[in-house]
Every structure is written in structure tokens, then in C-alpha cells.
Structure 1
Amino acid sequence: MRTANSWAAVVLVGLGAVVAQSFGRFTYSVLLPAIRNDLDHSNTVAGLLGTTNVLAYLVGTFVVASLTTRFPLLAVLRSGFAFSLAGIALAAVAPNVFVLGIALFSMGFGGALIWVPSPAIAAAAVGPHRRGLAVGAIGGGVGIGIVVTGQLARVARNRSGDSAWRDVYRIDLALGIVIVIAIVLLLRHSQNAPSRQRVGGAGFGILRQMPGWIPITGAYVTYGFSYLIAISFLTSRLEDDAGFSEGLASTMFTLVGIGAIVGGVLMGVVAGRFGERRTLVTGYVVFAIALAGVLTGVVGVVAASSVVIGLMFGGLPSVIIGYVVQNTSPEAFGPSFAAATFAFGLAQVTSPQLGGLIADITGGFTLVFVAAIGFALAGAATSSRLPT
């Protein structure tokens, strides 16, 4: 599918990523302080809820590794929306932590079914020479969703206090329904019949055939630890430790989204010029520096750091995904990327709970961000082992 409407397909896939990632995952991150204050006053419980979401994402990647060899990628993507929208709808009326946990699980599972096929669908729409740009544009969609969510959270909490977090999910649901209707009606993707090959071990049997699979998977895993700790607890760190107001903390989260809008495209262009290895090593080091900037608590430094965090948040996975796209066949991409995402998901299952536990033990979020910095530097070391 390489028509004049090819970029329209990329836009639609990017909007789907908004539902999967921005609404289904990162809305909880920006609302975490409000949800914690309204339902439960424990950072550990708040981290456990975040873990529930990413645990479902992990389960979803295991399932999607098999689904992509049996069903067309577009069919798998569409099926994910049923779970994501159902979870968002349940969160919009959740009366307690238990119900919210079920909602977050549904969102996480659906998010995996949407996200894993998305890069291949976008890349196929524009052809081989613009694959990196298309994959980066999907990350831009996630950034736009984060901007929207951050501003919705700021307005809702300013008007109605912490209990208004459900209103944000209600608006997410309305926007998500419109997006899904557009995708079902307009998005098309042609592919060969699924191979129906055995994927073995969540797709790792196929992933191991890709050159550099160990360092690129390691880079994805360390990204999972570092970014999710930072994103999950950014507003909590700023409100609880640095004394930022609710509105100012939400604005910083919005700046992360603004950076993410251009991060994927920017890093894709840089990787095309300097190679994935140099781009990832440099990106992880810059990410670590930006995370350290958050610890200063100085508004100007935090603002600049938030933008850079967004750039790396959108850019690093785009480079990683672009590497997998370029080094696998269309038939092998689904299970290969699912396997890499499964490893990435293992990191995500651990990181929110780890961050919440550290915060409760230490009474603050300084060491939480120190841990995120350590994982980012580990990502630079791992990426340095990629083939030239």
C-alpha cells in the first residue's frame, strides 16, 4: 500500500497509538497523585496498579507473538481496541482500587495488541526508504496524546480536585471512540498470508535469527526500566519533593509530551545519518542527564529536562523499532518485535512497583530517579555492542 494516501495511513496508526499508549497507559501516570490521594495513600499500591497495567501488556505481547502468525496484522490491531476502550470505560467509573486494577489490566492487554503490529503497518504504507520516519511518526502520536492528557488532568484537578481523575478517563473514552471508528472505516493494510510458523518462546526463536538481537533487546529492556520509572513518578516527584503545584507538575508532564511529538522523527533522522548504535548510545546518555535535571527542582531546569525526556521517550524506542524493521522480513517482524517487547515488558512489570517501594521506604523520589538514571546508563553500555 504505497498510494497518495500512504501518510494518511501512518496518521491513523499514530492515532491508534494514542489510544493504546497515551490513554491506555500514560493517563494513569499523570493522574497517579490524584488517584493515590483519592483512593489510597500508599505509593506502593499506586506502583502496584501501574504494574498491573504493564503486566497485562506483558501477557498481551506473549499472545500477540502467536496471533501475528495466524491473523493479519490489521486484524490483530483492531482487536486490541476492544480491550483498550473497555478498560478506559471501566476506569471512568471505577469506585475503588480493585476495579481500577481490572481496568488498567484491560488497557494494558489491548495496548500490546495495538502497539506490536503498528510499526509494520506504518512502515509498509510508505515503503522501505521512509520506514524510520513512519515509525517515528507513530511515537509523535503518543506525544500528542500525552500533551492532551496532561492538560486535561491540569484543568480537571484545578476545577474539581483529586476526585476529578475519572473525568479525564471519560474524555479519553470519547476521543478514543472517535479514533477507533476512523481507523475501522479508513485504515487498510495489504500483506501476504500469515506464515503460521511456530514462534516458540514468545517469538524468541525467530528473534534470535536477527543480527544484533541481544544488544538491541537489552537496549529495549533498559529503556523499559528507565522511562517507566521516570514517567510514572514524574508528577509525584515534582509535587511531593520539589513543592510544585498540581498545575505546574502537570505542565511539566505536558512538556514531556511535546518533546515526544518530535522525538521519534528527529531520532529517526539522526539514526539514518549516524547509525543506530551511535544514536542509541548518545541518546541514553542524554536521557540520563535530563533525568538528573529533574532532581534539581529548579523550574527552568526541570522544564528543559522534561522536553529532553520527551525527546528520548519518543526517540529511543523509534530507533530500536526501526532497527528491528530493517533487520527482519515482513513475515518475521511480528513475532520478532513481540519477543523484544516481551523482554521490554518484563522490565516494565518490575519498575513501577520498584519505584513505589523505594519511595515509601525512603519517603521521597530522589532514589527512584537515581535508579532511572542508572538504567539509562546501562542502556548506553548495552547499545554500544550493536553491530556497526
Structure 2
Amino acid sequence: MTLTDTSLSRRNPALLILMLSLAPAIGLGIGRFVYSLVLPDMRDSLQWSYSAAGFMNTVNAAGYLLGALAAASLGKRYGLFAVLQLGTVACIASLLLCGVTADFTLLSIARFVTGFGAAISFVAGGTLAATIGLAYPERSSYLLSLFYAGPGIGILVSGLIAPFVLQGFGAGSWWIVWLVIGVVSVVMGLPLLRKLVDASEGTSTDAAPAVAIRPMWIFLVAYFMFGAGYIAYMTFMIAYVRDGGGSAVAQSAFWCVIGASSFASPWLWRGVLARGQSGSAMAIILGTNAVGAAMPLLGHSPLVLGLSAAVFGVSFFAVVAATTAFVRFNYPRETWPKAIAVVTIVFGIGQTMGPIAVGAISDATGSLTSALVVSAATLGVGAVLSAFQKELSYR
């Protein structure tokens, strides 16, 4: 790997990875999940059903899926860091677009672009983070976790801004949130304009080696279940908190706890991720995530919701880190972009199906509780399945 700022890469690889993590902070932490914060106001103002609201996340996930399919080839052709930059710019532009239209079709297109940009920047950034970690084998799991803590920054920023903008400007101010958060994303993305990594990194005229999928089919099914299960929680929990009487402060606190607790992931899960050769790391972390998703079923009390946010947040992006750790341990380096893209594609399929399905369930039952039941159960099944994934022996 060629790093332009050699002093930064040699003295502080953690800082370099944290700077790269601004891409998923914008694309995922803000681009995907700020929608959950404005969803109640958008649904009321635009008179959407739960199915229509879920569709917005479904189309976002569809963009993510297409981006995951294209990421490896784009990285090979243009370089991983260039793809990371392109994806981040696309996400920022789509956030701003959401603030200037109420048209369902245009909003759907914007959400699609956000998903596409988030996926290509995520795959490229994850591959770069894994590559940087190669130079520091004793710290590689920790360094990799730093990248996946990035979305927590975006979630935290969203939680500190969106509820209070909605409260300050009143009903129907959802579009102001999109504009404000878009401008904030522009500022956050400025460090990525710096040439952190050689633009040619990841380019190649050689065909990438094939990635054997069959040996990790259990792992992929489990990750599909995660994609389908987590999205219901992240899409509808703010509406659940609000429906339970939660104020803007309560909504902000809940969302900020999810974001802030993700910062503990690199330290909490570093030992587990270091043993990520099999599916055991995924099973432990995903099982924890399922517990967090199930907690709101115990009631609307601040203590229960706070614990749910903390447990869910501390394990959420660690599940994603576990997939990259699995790829890093079991596949040759030259196949990493393609292998990471494969697991991201499976994840994308799951999260494409999840929102519209749980939205339809909520419409049919007239309650968000049913969506949370489905979410927690799906995550639990994924945790059990992943425990059966063995280390790949053919590497």
C-alpha cells in the first residue's frame, strides 16, 4: 500500500484510519440513519404509511446493494481512495437534495444515491483499513475496529442536531434537518479531500482471483439475517420512542447513546475480533446485538431504552467489523476487495428486504412492537447460525 503522508502512516496509523472512517460516518452514520430521526415528521407531514416510510429505506438499501456489486471493479479501475472520495461526495449531494424536495420520486432517488455512495466508500475504506492493519499485526484488530466505529460519529452528530432542529422549527421542518445535516457533512468530509492514500491504490490490470463463496455460506446467511434484522430497529426506534411519549431530548439521548457506545467497540471487542477466523466472533457480537434489539419489548422506561441503545450500539458496527476480520483471516490479500464486496452484497440484500417487510407488518398490526419482535428474532437466528461457521482451511 502506498501512503502519501508517510509520517502519518508510520507514527499514527490509528489517526489515518480515523480520518478514513469519516466516509462511513457520512455515508452510513448520517446518510442512512438520520432518516430515522426525521421519519416521524416526514410521515406526518407527507402522509406516508409505514410501508411508504419503509420503502425509503428499502430503496436506500437497494442503492447500497448496487454499490456493493460495483465497488470491487470501481476500486480496481480507479483506486480505492478515489472511490472512497467519490462515494462520500455522492452521499453529501444526496443529503442536500433531500432538503430541497418533497417529491416522493426525487426523495427515493436521493436515498438510492446515498446508499450507492455509502456502499462503494464503505467497501473501499474497509479494504484500506484492513491493508493498513497488515503493517501492525499486534494491533490489527484494534485498528480495523476504529474504521467501523466511524458510523457512530455520524449517528452521534445526527442525534445532537436533528431532534432539536425539529423541535425548534416545529412540525414540517424535516427538510431543514436535511439541509443542516448536509452542510455539517460537507464540513466533516473536508479532511478526505487531502490525499491520504495514493490514488492508484487498488488499481490493477490483472483479473482479481475468484472468491470461494461456498465454504462461508453459513456466515453469509447469518450476515443476511443481520442485514434484515438490524434495519427495523434503526428505522423505527425513534418513532417508537416518540410514540411512547419521548421528547426531543429523549430522542436525542437515545440516538446519541447508540452512537457514543459504538466508540467502545474497538476496546471491548478487540479480543473477540482477534479470534475471528471462524464464525464465533460474529455469533458473540450478533447475539449481543439481538439482546439490545429485544430490550424495548420490556417497556418504554428511560432505563430500558437507554440500556437497549447502549447494548445495541456497542455491538452494531462490531458485527460489520467481524465480517472484515473473517475475510482478512481466511482469504488472500489480493481477494479482499472482492470478498468484502461479497459479504456487503449479502448484507445489502438483507437490508433491502427488511424495511418494507417490517413496514408492512406494522401496517397490518397497527403497532411498531411487532416490527421490533421480528427484528430481534431475526438477529437471534443470525447469531445462532454464525456459530456453526468453521475456519476456512483452503487459504
Give the alignment's TM-score, normalised by structure 1.
Answer: 0.91
Tell which deviates more after alignment, 355-364 or 278-287.
278-287
In the TM superposition, 1:335-374 aligns within 5 A as 335-374=338-377
- Deviation string 1:6-39 (CA, Å, 9 cap, x unpaired) is 2232011111111111121111122211111122
1:103: Cα distance to partner?
1.2
The aligned counterpart of 1:283 is 285
1:376 is aligned to 2:379: yes
Number of matched residues?
Answer: 380
Cα distance in 1 for residues equivalent to 2:62 and 2:356: 11
* Deviation (angstroms), 1:77: 1.3
CA contact (8 A) 1:38 1:163 kept: yes
Q: Does 1:329 align with 2:336?
A: no
Q: CA RMSD in A?
A: 2.1
What are the Cα deviations for residues 207-237 of structure 1, in whole angstroms up to 9, with x where unaligned? 428xx52122222211101111111111112
Change (3 A) 1:360 1:324: same
- Name whichever of 107-116 and 295-304 sits farther off: 295-304
Indicate how the Cα distance of structure 1 residues 290 and 6 shifts in structure 2: closer, same or farther if over 3 A, else same.
Answer: closer
Q: Distance in 1 between matches of 2:77 and 2:140?
A: 24
| Distance (Å, rounded) in 2 between the aligned partners of 1:273 and 1:370 | 31
Corresponding residue for residue 105 of structure 2: 98
What is the CA–CA distance in structure 2 between the aligned matches of 1:357 and 1:265, rounded to whole Å? 38
- String of CA shifts for 1:52-82, please: whole Å, max 9, x gaps: 1111111111111322333321122122123
TM-score (ref. length: structure 2): 0.90
Kindly state the Cα deviation for residue 374 of structure 1 after the two structures are TM-superposed: 1.3
Q: Which runs of 5+ in 1 are unaligned?
A: 200-204
- 234, 237, 243: which one pairs with 1:234? 237
Task: Please give the residue correspondences for 1:185-334 in structure 2 after superposition, counting only pairs within 5 Å.
Answer: 185-189=194-198, 191=201, 193-194=203-204, 196-197=206-207, 205-208=210-213, 212-240=215-243, 242-272=244-274, 277-296=279-298, 297-334=300-337
CA distance in 2, matches of 1:161, 1:342: 39
8 Å CA contact 1:220–1:340 kept in 2: the answer is yes
User: Which of 164, 177, 182 is matched with 2:186 structurally?
Assistant: 177
Q: 1:134 aligns with which of 119, 123, 143?
A: 143
AA aligned to 1:83 is A
Q: Taking structure 1 as reference, are residues 207 and 262 closer, same or farther at Cα in structure 2, changes over 3 Å only?
A: farther
Any gaps of 5 or more consecutive residues in structure 2?
4-8
2:6 aligned partner = none
Deviation by residue 1:108-129 (Cα, 9 ceiling, x = unmatched): 1111111011112123234251
Aligned partner of residue 3 in structure 1, secondary structure? helix
C-alpha separation in 2, matches of 1:324 and 1:356: 33
Q: Alpha-carbon deviations, 1:222-260, whole Å to 9, x = none?
A: 1101111111111112222x3323431332122111122
| Whole-angstrom CA distance in 2 between matches of 1:348 and 1:196 | 32
Distance (Å, rounded) in 2 between the aligned partners of 1:46 and 1:162? 17
Are residues 193 and 99 of structure 1, via their aligned partners in 2, closer, same or farther at CA, if it must alter by over 3 Å?
A: closer
Rounded to whole Å, the distance in 2 between the matches of 1:295 and 1:347 is 23
In percent, how many aligned pairs have the same letter? 26
Change (3 A) 1:7 1:283: closer
Cα distance change, pair 281–58 in 1 and its aligned pair in 2 (3 A): same
The alpha-carbon deviation at position 316 of structure 1 amounts to 1.2
